[in-house]
Amino acid sequence: MPLSLIELRDVSITYGEGNGAVLAVDSLNLTVEEGEFVCLLGPSGCGKSTALKAIAGLIPIHSGTSVFGPAAQNPSDRFVVWQEATLMPWRTILRNVTYPLELKKVDRATAREKAMKQLEALGIAEFADKYPRQLSGGMRQRAGIARALVADPNVLLMDEPFAALDAQTRRLLQEQLLQLWNEVRKTV
């Protein structure tokens, strides 16, 4: 059988030790195939963020196994979009979005072109030269998603990416995200 992109088997994750230990994830089984859009649903505190951080490779798992297929093998294949866009305040929106390409040593003109394309796709191209503080939360979140798409990871991990937005913007971005997913078929 071909390897799934992400496979968690009986994964448990604990914070702390001894009496104060919190079992945050208890025997999680999860299989994600390439190109799938998978949502973890559950009340707050049930361990969604913890599971996502483990999948991102940011925290260790304490028992069970996690196996990644070739397309998700490298931690840089898995890019996280957090609840609040973690933009760098001293860089313009454009230069926040080109950042992953700078890290990959992509030349400036190409990086700019790719970033502008994503900013356009997300409807915020006209704010390219503004700073994050000059944008609304919804626009910052779009910029965060544009940056993730520019990074072009095989796996896009999102932790309640629209939770901090008003209901209308959230709905709009949810629809846009599904549309984008239809076009690019990333694993989300």
Q: What is the chain written as a DSSP string?
A: -PPPSEEEEEEEEEES-GGG-EEEEEEEEEEE-TT--------TTSSHHHHHHHHHTSS--SEEEEEE-GGG-SGGGEEEE-SS----TTS-HHHHHSHHHHHTT--HHHHHHHHHHHHHHTT-GGGTTS-GGGS-HHHHHHHHHHHHHHH--SEEEESSTTTTS-HHHHHHHHHHHHHHHHHH--B-
In the complex, the residues that contact ligand ADP under the rule CB under 6 A are: 15-16, 22, 24, 42, 44-50
In the complex, residue closest to Mg ion by CB? 49
Least distance (Å) from ligand ADP to the CB of residue 20? 9
Least distance (Å) from Mg ion to the CB of residue 159? 6
Least distance (Å) from Mg ion to the CB of residue 95? 29
Options 5, 6, 49, 115; binder of Mg ion; rule CB under 5 A: 49
Q: Among residues 50 and 187, whose Cβ is nearest to ligand ADP?
A: 50
Pick the stretch among 4-12, 35-43, 47-55, 66-74 that binds Mg ion (CB under 5 A).
47-55
Which chain residues interact with Mg ion by CB under 5 A? 48-49
